[in-house]
A and B are shown apart, each in its own frame.
Chain A
Amino acid sequence: MKFTIVVFPGSNCDHDAYHAAKHVLGQEAEFAWHKETSLKGADVVVLPGGFSHGDYLRTGAIARFSPIMNAVAAFAAAGGPVLGICNGFQILCEAGLLPGAMLRNRDLKFHCEHVGVRVEQTDTPFTSLATRGQVLHIPIAHGEGNYFADPEVIADLEASRRVIFRYCDADGQITDAANPNGSVKNIAGICSAARNVVGLMPHPERACESMLGSADGLVLFESVLSQVAADGRMSTAAS
């Protein structure tokens, strides 16, 4: 199975996503430069974290215009699994593939630390092996991760069960103290209406080996592996 990791100028978690896919999961992985137009036969597309274009103008605002984003949109429209991590999530929002926007953290400081992240829904390609209510211990590292959308959008996200991850305490409680950045309703990650595009601010690729302090992020990658494998079998059966 092949992960294609999109590299924008200023991406800096591209190598980390590559390492997780290739060396931890043992899958095929390849970088795609933002000026390219092909996703190189990807089964899964990852928009990695970092500071694309230096976060200048607004996070993700310039990256959405990269040539590769047409291919990403087409891949997503065809139902392909797309994971946007941190800056990747910000880019997906700017590109209109996910709703909402990210404000500066409410204390105006960058936060790098492990946080509790509760899995809210398991019917996405990236959470299918998780259980609802499961608490993942995963790092965040961002200065602008304060998820915001107007009340109608939030209501729609909730009604359509598209809030996939929320910040929580160690017991899985959704509290204000457990909210590291001020996100509306502790939202840490959401999915598209078709559920195949998932964006989240925490970094699951940083939590794939116990040596790094947590392997809780693995479940996202293992989920998509099993999902793609199952889809592959289904499509083989159908053909």
Chain B
Amino acid sequence: MSPVDAALLERHGLTPDEYDRIVKSLGREPTLTELGIFSVMWSEHCSYKSSRIHLKKLPTDGPRVLQGPGENAGAVDIGDGLAAVFKIESHNHPSFIEPYQGAATGVGGIIRDIFTMGARPIALMNSLRFGEMDGPDGPRTRRIVEGVVAGIAGYGNSIGIPTVGGEIVFDDRYASNPLVNVFCLGIAAADALVLGRASGIGNPVYYVGSKTGRDGIHGATMASAEFDDKSAEKRPAVQVGDPFMEKLLLEACLELMKTDALIGVQDMGAAGLTCSTCEMGSRGGAGIEIDVMHVPQRETGMTPYEIMLSESQERMLLAVKKGREAEVERIFEKWDLHAAHIGEVTSDGMMRVKDHGNTVAEIPNTALVDAAPIYDRPTTRPAYLDEVQHLDWSALNPALPSDALLSLLGSPTIASKRWVYRQYDHMVRTNTIVLAGMGAGVVRVKGTNRALAMSVDGNGRYCYLDPRRGAMLAVAEASRNVACAGATPIGGTNCLNFGNPERPEIMWQLVQSIEGIAEACRALNVPITGGNVSLYNETNGEAIYPTPVLGVVGVLDDAAKVVARAFRGEGDDIVLLGDGIGELGGSEYLKVVHRLVRGRPPELELDRERRLIDLLVRAARAGVVRSAHDCSDGGVAVTLAECAFDTGGIGCEVDVPMVANKTGAQSFDGVGALFGESASRAIVSVRAADRPALMELAASGGVPANLIGKTGGSRLVLRIGGRTAIDLPVETAERAWATAISRYFKRSAA
């Protein structure tokens, strides 16, 4: 091979130190193929080398946890002998370079992670961040939005897994680095989870799925670097998805898993054949030997290096029992898939790659996995914090409340996402019992009385202002959303989107966020069963907001007791659960009305949050609440408006409690009461006859509960201390909310 020089190492994203480590662990210089293998396995994306020591702080155990981090996905026990298998993953970099395919293949990848565990995927969600659709980057952002949404739809709709919800935030900090985090949940028999491991000397190793091409080579390395103006040149590193192929793989694998011929399976995602071969051998305490000659190839003249590093989509690696080959091959043939026998399980713990019988790579799995570098990178509290946490109210003029409400409802982050979710098949599989946009995603579990609720949440602005508290609030909000549906949170998954960890300020944000997640998850009994870290989310040196996204899954024992956000009828009592203290730091109000990202995010008292979550679950179980909606972005005013939307125009009349604004600026008191985002609150509606029961539950659960008004009429009437602050027809408010996103895409509207 050519001598290893600095340029070669740089192309592989390896440092000279890391190269020395490779030489040391091999006891010799690597071949070019081996260098490629090391480079992807040791990339940030695959090795978690910057985050690993901190991820250990997350709580991963609990009575319901069947599978924690380390496998293709985590799993929790949901009763009735069933497990919920779920994970969230990012596909940020590819989605910026090629929005449709980047997002589509992200969906494809997370679905494979779920069904490789032996679970049938039944729900998808996503958490998206884009730039603003106005302004200089607007046209490009709109193109990205359209492409990402179409890509998610194109893949999920075709494969037939409903996209039941999610969240979308627009902020210019994501203009050159959008985030596409995709979540998938599946159902498996709790005692039949399939693991990604190869064992049993001499057992055959099969390759199934699409042929290998030159697409996606070094995708994992790309995902581990910052963007610059030349990133468009990296387009060939984005793969093209084929949902039809994956549908066949899904059905064939699930059929195969019903037999006992299978030992282990892993999808070829990031780092393709390299990662699956190494990890399956490593987890099973064995080795795998393959000959690339047998790998089905789409193009001619591919080198072993290219075959091992390709990230072509829709490919799986399987270890099956010797003697059962014919049975396995028959199942794949039924689905018109070709299962290629490419190698064997060995006893020597080596990943051995041959090309027509000649060894081209021979690496101990331990060198790739255990000897991978782990960095305890330096951290520094960023200097910007002192500046942005300071909020000077005296320089601001409070907006007229009704104007502020209309501005907030019409801002794309808060507005209805119907234009988006209408493009997603959110009903296929006939399990969706809370339709997209009506609250947390909720799917019933057929064959049981249960349902699963899920929510993905994150607030980058909060995390920018205070990463630790912001991350805690994300855990709280996702858990609260699930509880609003009536479900007990039982597990979580996280996707940590940050900038370049080699910058101490970014590393500080990451560590603070992980510690915040850990603390909140412990307090709320939400073990983290897996997830994903996406670093280097920077373009031309500007990082995104630190954006940890939490996916929380909850279980409802009785699906019929599910609760959604919208008011259900006239004359119901409206009760505000929890106390607000008018916190406006980092709020949507400040951002939308005053164009300010300042202050500190709301305080979070975890004990209070847990009591609220418990109450919401108990109240739903008792059947006393008719609607429940988390009170967060945009405060009480936006929450009430959202409760009135999609109801056919049921309004409300409420008197919002006055709050003592801690800033002391009296003129802002009303604004704080209406738009403050204090945590641990929810707005519920109850039949008047059921209110005493709710109040009793609240009192015994230690949750403040205040009757604030009644549903009815066709106007949103909000008073503060008896004085009318907002009085708008629901129709006017709903129009602002319903059209705020679709208006950017009029060209293609029906």
Chain A interface (Cβ within 8 Å of chain B)?
Answer: 9-10, 12-13, 15-16, 19-20, 23, 33, 35, 49-51, 53-56, 105-113, 139, 141, 143, 180, 182, 203, 205-206, 208-209, 211-213
Contacts and interface: CB of A to CB of B under 8 A. Distances in A.
Given A54-B158, A107-B749, A211-B560, A16 B429 contact: yes
A180 B750 contact: yes
A59 to B, nearest CB: 11
B585 interface: no
B427 interface: yes
B425 A53 contact: no
B430 interface: yes
A122 B335 CA distance: 39
Given A19-B446, A108-B748, A10 B424 contact: no
> What are the 4 closest A-B residue pairs judged by CB atoms, nearest first?
A12-B160, A54-B244, A107-B750, A51-B158
Nearest to A108: B748
Contacts of B159: 12, 51
Interface in B409-428: 421-428
B749 A141 contact: no
B658 interface: no
Interface in B212-269: 242-245, 247-248
A143 B285 CA distance: 48
A56 B154 CA distance: 13
9 contacts: A9-B247, A9-B335, A10-B244, A16-B430, A51-B158, A51-B159, A112-B422, A212-B427, A212-B430
A119 B487 CA distance: 39
A96 to B, nearest CB: 24
Given A141-B425, A213-B435, A206 B430 contact: yes
Given A112-B422, A112-B425, A106 B430 contact: no
A192 B267 CA distance: 45
B444 interface: yes
Contact of B559 (A12, A56, A110, A211): A211
Contacts of A105: 750
Contact of A54 (B242, B425, B428, B560): B242
B336 interface: yes
A13 B444 CA distance: 16
Contacts of B243: 51, 54
B153 interface: yes
Interface residues on B, range: 20 to 34
B158 A112 contact: no
Nearest to B246: A54
Nearest to B251: A9
B426 to A, nearest CB: 6
Contact of A111 (B158, B335, B336, B423): B423
B247 A12 contact: yes
Contacts of A10: 158, 244, 247-248
A112 B427 contact: yes
Contacts of A109: 422-423, 748, 750
Contact of A212 (B245, B433, B560): B433
A9 B425 contact: no
Contacts of B245: 54
B157 interface: yes
A212 B423 CA distance: 19
Interface in B535-572: 559-560
A159 to B, nearest CB: 29
Given A56-B244, A110-B157, A141 B750 contact: no
B432 interface: yes
Interface string B727-750: 000000000000000000000111
B222 to A, nearest CB: 27
Contacts of A16: 428-430
A33 B333 CA distance: 13
A211 B750 contact: no
A54 B314 CA distance: 14
Interface string B426-456: 1111101101000000001010000000000
Contacts of A33: 334
A121 B559 CA distance: 36
B418 to A, nearest CB: 8
A107 B746 CA distance: 10
Of A12, A105, A106, A182, most buried by chain B (CB within 10 Å of CB) is A12
A137 B244 CA distance: 30
Given A54-B242, A212-B432, A113 B422 contact: yes
B351 to A, nearest CB: 34
Contacts of A51: 157-160, 243-244, 247
Nearest to B424: A112
Contacts of A15: 429
B154 to A, nearest CB: 8
B422 A143 contact: no
Contacts of B750: 105-107, 109, 180, 182
Given A51-B158, A211-B444, 14 more contacts: A13-B428, A49-B428, A54-B158, A54-B244, A55-B158, A55-B244, A110-B153, A112-B422, A112-B427, A206-B427, A206-B430, A211-B433, A211-B559, A212-B433
A105 B422 CA distance: 13
A124 B57 CA distance: 64
A110 to B, nearest CB: 5
Contacts of A106: 750
Of B158, B243, B334, B432, most buried by chain A (CB within 10 Å of CB) is B158
Contact of B748 (A50, A107, A113, A143): A107
A216 to B, nearest CB: 14
A206 B432 CA distance: 10
Of B157, B245, B559, most buried by chain A (CB within 10 Å of CB) is B157
Contacts of A205: 430
Contacts of B424: 110, 112
Nearest to B146: A109
Contact of A9 (B248, B421, B422): B248
A139 to B, nearest CB: 5
A53 B244 contact: yes
Nearest to B438: A213
Nearest to A55: B158
A1 B153 CA distance: 37
A143 B423 CA distance: 9
Nearest to A211: B433
Contacts of A112: 157, 421-427
Contacts of B433: 211-212
A2 B493 CA distance: 43
A212 B432 CA distance: 6
B447 to A, nearest CB: 9
Nearest to B418: A113
Contacts of A141: 157, 425, 427-428
Contacts of A213: 435
B430 A19 contact: yes
Contacts of B334: 33, 35
B428 A12 contact: yes
A211 B446 CA distance: 12
Nearest to A212: B430
Contacts of A113: 422
A203 B428 CA distance: 10
A182 B564 CA distance: 32
Interface in B121-166: 153, 157-160
A19 B159 CA distance: 18
A49 B247 CA distance: 14
Given A107-B749, A211-B560, A143 B157 contact: yes
Contacts of B248: 9-10
Contact of A110 (B335, B423, B427): B423
Of A53, A109, A112, A213, most buried by chain B (CB within 10 Å of CB) is A112
Nearest to B434: A213
Contacts of B421: 112
Nearest to B159: A12
A205 B428 CA distance: 10
Contacts of B430: 16, 19-20, 205-206, 208-209, 212
A53 B244 CA distance: 7
